[in-house]
Structure 1
Amino acid sequence: MMRGLARLAAAAVLLWVAGMSAAPAQVLAFEELDGWAEDDQREALTAFLETCDKPKAPEWGPLCALAADAGATPESARAFFELFFLPVMIGHPPALFTGYYEPLLDGSPVRTPRFAYPIYARPPELRDGIQFHPRSAIESGILRGRGLELAWLEDPVDVFFLQIQGSGRIRMPNGSVMRVGYAGKNGHPYRSVGSELVRRGTYTADQVSAQTIRGWVKQNPAPGNALLDHNPSYVFFRKLPNLAAHKGPIGALGRSITPMRSLAVDPAYNPLGAPIWIEKNGRDPLRRLMVAQDTGGAIKGAQRADIYFGTGDAAGDAAGIVKDGGRMVVLLPIDLAFATLSDG
């Protein structure tokens, strides 16, 4: 009987996935997830609770209520996910995993000789889905003098990578810290400056990282700034004055994300708020349950994810070298599977 129910649930999940995207899907058993029994799913459960009330499908609500009392031990947390979810691999591995972080940068609330490069608040005339001025025009000063400057940084590379990360902390000369988060972008497509350096023959694909890009731009200021303009996409920020220091930056679901337990994904394939099991290979393999709580301009495809590493330089160093294969498996609610089957 239980095997029959499992087959029905698996069929329903496949129907749901087929309706969500054109990517192929395969239902797995938890025993097929490499390292599943060794992970401490309590940490993932804590991250899941941060946003489990955000998905709109009604099947998530009861799971969110049950999750609040499910994580007393590693075994109970693991049992919660095994009881109420099915592992589904969407798309074809290998996956591509990269990393991101929350920079901690020195800055100033006013322009000074040291701090001369602004980050901007969202212009009121900016409309989602409509192309605004490209990066080159904005960096050339087209918004200057309108009072949109939130803070000033000491290097254009810092501005660029703050935009890539989408959030940050800016340490002011008086010791105070401004938290900033994503407020919108200019509507131009993201273009990778790392890929451009590879195309030019400056580096090979395995040599390119955030650190090598940063170093090359600083060593070659004029061509370096031109390289940054290769990416016409530009991100605007907003102040986050009420975000506690111990909380992570705000993700796409409007809640704080958790170091090493939150992922940025493509929501066309992996629903925001869903737990996702990752098997990242490479120099520092990862086998752990994470939660899809963010998105990114470069994160496209079913087997594509950005791992949130935390705040500061150490997190940035770790995130900047990640470009690894593996696979990712989304956990979908069984109730949602049965509901979909009934609707069909």
Structure 2
Amino acid sequence: MCLLFRLYFLARRMHLSWVKSALVLWRNIMIKVGIAGITGYTGEELIRCLYQHPKVKISSLYARIEKPIHFSSIAPRFNKKIDLMCEPLNAEHMGDNCDIVFLALPHTVSMEFVPFLLKKGKRVIDLSADYRIPKDSYELWYKHEHTDSENLTQAVYGLPEINREKIKGAKLLSNPGCYPTSIILGLAPISKLISQCLIEPIIDSKSGTSGAGKKAEASFLFTEVDENLRCYKANEHQHIPEIEHFLSYEAGANIKVHFSPHLLPVRRGIMSTIYLNHESFSSIENIQKMYNDFYKNEPFVRVRPLGKFPEILDVAETNYCDIGIKFARGMLIIVSVIDNLLKGASGQAVQNMNIMCGFDEKEGLF
């Protein structure tokens, strides 16, 4: 299986039609995947998506536990569906029985395992922030030394709408953050215009509580979150460098943003409302056309008619990003909504796997 897997990707990179023809059987072969970090929300969503994927077999599971435990003890809803033991994290053993490994681990932890997995010839999809931004930015914003500079420079940022061609040949894929996904997709069609006009977008984002993960902190207790709305890390959130870095990448020039996140009393979903005040946005019809043209062939981005804004419930439990724009009183207003656990994490990771493997991009996703 591993040899066939490598030949397939060699053919894709070298455009060898005769090899591609010889490997047409690949599309009918199940790939084996391993998942590390299955006790968190993103890990659980990964399993749900991959379990229903017609071309994937979940072959190994790992978590930050002291001894092996049956997966059904961790997630009873999968009892009699996935008959696997969940093993403790072990760099030497991870990836022994799979072709692709998903790392749904906390920030700063993934870099401990990525070098071992890559040396074993595995493809890695990392859902943490460890391989998203340059080393100096990472150490500044995450307050932690980055110990894998070599692989950091080789990682491919996994936002399909702006990086699909590079994703196809990626060995190490860095899955985007949830806030950056909603914001970058909301601004990518006009990123060049933003940079040319020296505009600094003002971004107000609101996320469901699952975006914070399973943290045992008082601020995330039901009684603290219910019927409440809280702003946190205003204009100093660690996702700012990721947003600025990849908007600048898309624009080909530096872009600076002002970003304030808020915690919503809902389980899942993100709404990013973006404000841009500039005379260049006087023709709203042209801006709408830029969005329609940019996303016309994207399977998971839906642009609303002019002046219509999406809601979180429109995308909850799906891998879609819905975008609406409006021009009012000299202000361009953009609303971008996603499910933070799917398009903002696990669903996008599966979408990236599909691209890497040459599968239909929508396989296993809704």
- TM-score scaled to structure 1, two decimals? 0.27
Q: Which has the higher contact order (CA 8 A, sep 6+)?
A: 1
More strand by share: 1
- TM-score scaled to structure 2, two decimals? 0.26
